[in-house]
A and B are shown apart, each in its own frame.
Chain A
């Protein structure tokens, strides 16, 4: 290599170093003894030659191993060539392989001698063993000797029609080798490629497309006939081939199909630019609306089915373990998919970010580019780009880039808060990048510009010069954008000159004041005055800027500053530093008009106060997407050798019929046979039909016969299914669970005590509840809801399986009574909080008792837990009040009671869960109990319980429903129907039930409290705070009693508190999620003070009333 010579000095150093470190070492070969003796190179490998010439294979092998070890270390072993090449026909396969390794390495240097071996390979090409044929071709094609080109060509052609797909694969690999050796063979090679492209085995597909890409990437026409086949085979091709094929197909699709976003991009160009200027806002809704409009106006875009085929068949590959495959699919979607579908790739990309740091680096580069164009796609994953202090700097900077790209009006406050922590990092390069990122956010999002500026101004007092310098630069840029509006900041910075000592910052501030002295006409001269005073003590850069400032002021406001300027210039004239003396002299000549310097001084003002263009903050990743994503060129932002430009979409689609394949009858047959014989069935795409029968047949042998039915439905686990199926499944998995301890050999001893299971479960349920809280905060998380809903119904039926008559497991389970502790715990292994307040289609009375008692057990647990652990939200359970919904007499024997279970409603986090207990006191069955005609106030919603089909006489059943009261105490009215009667009833919630507990620390509590009070400042002081004095009731003196009374009055959770006279409680309203903070301070005697902070005044006042009552009783 030419480069090598240039670097010879350092490489010599390396060689030397390598050599010296190896002198004492034994050879890498397996026998240290022999290595020790013959290690030095100076004997010119005589010993090795001897060994190679011997008759013993073991000696030859030993010699070859040592030679290969030399090659591996990069040592020259070329002089052994004659001795080695003799052994090319050796019988021992390992020797042979090592000889091949040697041959491939040195054949280029010793072409004549290499020819000696060719005949061996030619013989090998005819061998009946496909492995030998393939390896002969591999080595033959790897020998880079131009004389054998015709031989290679012949061999490749022959191998391309070999019976064995493995040999054909090798032929495909040989094509680029031959092409690089002799590009003149291109035409012939294309013929071979064409032939191999038609191959129907997955083994060949990847390799031949690779050859296609290296030899004739421009011959896109060769792909037409094979396009559909490649799409269909794709999932079964090995992963490396997948990458190459997907990249090639991306290019292909760009030439053959129409832009699915065509209409949009037109609109974007015309309408959006006109209306929204440079604002890059891309809200989905708007796009959709526009899309609709566009579709209406323009002729409808219909996606080519082949285009769709490609998108559909590549999508599953997003789940590949291979990052390169995932990236390939991601770029395919980015470049080819309709805008609405591109989103699917975000999740996979975020997943890749958890891989090795090198993978992260590449993925982040691509995400950075994508996030500029399709910001919405990554917004949900914002937090995945948060930076850890352990990330390498290059990763940090890239994440910062992505975060900046993702910033918009809604998330900017969170992002800025993150940035604030980054600024304090120890990694100063990263801090500098963070400051720049803040600057970019500030320019892009007008709303936060002032906040950012203020933050940055504060950074000016940072001790680290880099931070200051960077902030000054950013502030300068920001101010340059609209200096007029920010004269106050310039003023502020002027004030900072008194306190800031960092010279760089002082200098920058002086520059700013000088530059914008017109905006601060009064302050600027004063600053100059102060600076003149301290001139002699300043650092040089500051002095220079003082001179600058003086000059600028002299030009704009000479009346006031003439003398000051003179003074400064005089000081500078005698400064120790010649730079400063020079500058002073130069400026004096320029600005003070004298006879000599007439010409220039006329232009002095223009020179000094020229309008400096505001610098533009731009992402370095802008417009990088003209490179194919995931490519090396994209990463380097420069065209790499061999990069194939991504073609622009055609205006008119080329004829799609070119992809039609006419399959002659006989090939169809043979190909199908081939598939059956050799390829078996395609691995992924096997249909249920195929796997079905074997499964059931095998499950017989596998499982005890009693479980057979379960085994069948077990595979349907995924579907949430309807009633009867579900119960089957439930019973199956219930049994399965009991079986598990026997069946599964647990490697580590696992004391699965009931309690530990319990608390583990508890923990989980708590987390679930937390989720709900989270989702009540943001309404966009309905997915989770639906999933928990269905999982709850599943667990419900699981529960049921316990009580279903099971002949074989009777011993363990008793029927209609609450199940004994053991099995109950096992049941609770599932998401236990899910099955408590859930309506289930086939809930039977007995089960509900079980589940209720179980629920209570667990609620008890959760209570004790919550006192131990922060951040956990569990409804604090003191006593559940029941209310009457329908009296026994008015209900003609049907009594209905309800209570607020204080569980987060599993159906909808914005609903209050209500448990309703029906008891049938008659001696006839009550049938089809249900809700009808709910009359709700506007905004209120109700999730009815499923109809209870039969309620036997004397039985009691509990169901739960959810009501969204909209944070009001208005009653929910509805009709309760039986088969024969209708009753008008209403549920009115006490205000305390309209909230759910949140857990927070004392500090958080205080912070929130201050926040709430602040909020109300705008209106009337104290709007959000209600204070009330009270006298505690007789029985309400102890800590415990107070806490208990408050928590029973309202669904609050206790906040740990330092003082023993204070009790704090917190909750959130169920619907709107506004905070409710309650503080009780006990005073001398029985006096106490109650404070309630809540945004909702009505709730606050009512709550005060309720708690007062509870405490003073």
Chain B
């Protein structure tokens, strides 16, 4: 249950050369976030909430940024029974909006602001962005299958009923039947939002995490 600090380069790669360089790089990366007032204006959180969030963030990542390895480790602490690295990878890409390989506090706040305080439209937009792995505006069956397998991997082996091999694929089929209106094999953002808005369960569950902070 050890949580490694974000800036320590405890990578498992055998190449010594890149390790040394990485270590130097990571050790000198220090990221200071924008001023509190600016963040307050940009996001939908109050000052107090931002303070609490930043204290937690800085405690775990004294250098101010999270890289993918650390992100995966933190996320896997919550799902001890399964393997959450793949899903954490997709999640990391969804949070890392500028794709620089590290999630800073601003990225973190931007994502959380949408998820916790955004409108249903924004949340659905975020979810679409998560599923659209190559960010081309369409969710294909392969992309959805990857996401679904990642989610099922988090369940691990010991489940009831026993996980079958094609469970993710079947789930993807159900999803596409529901979402893909014109049956062209891809789901666009409009189809997605429209279908979700028609489904009561989804609408209700979107409101579930309002009071997380």
Whether chains A and B associate is no
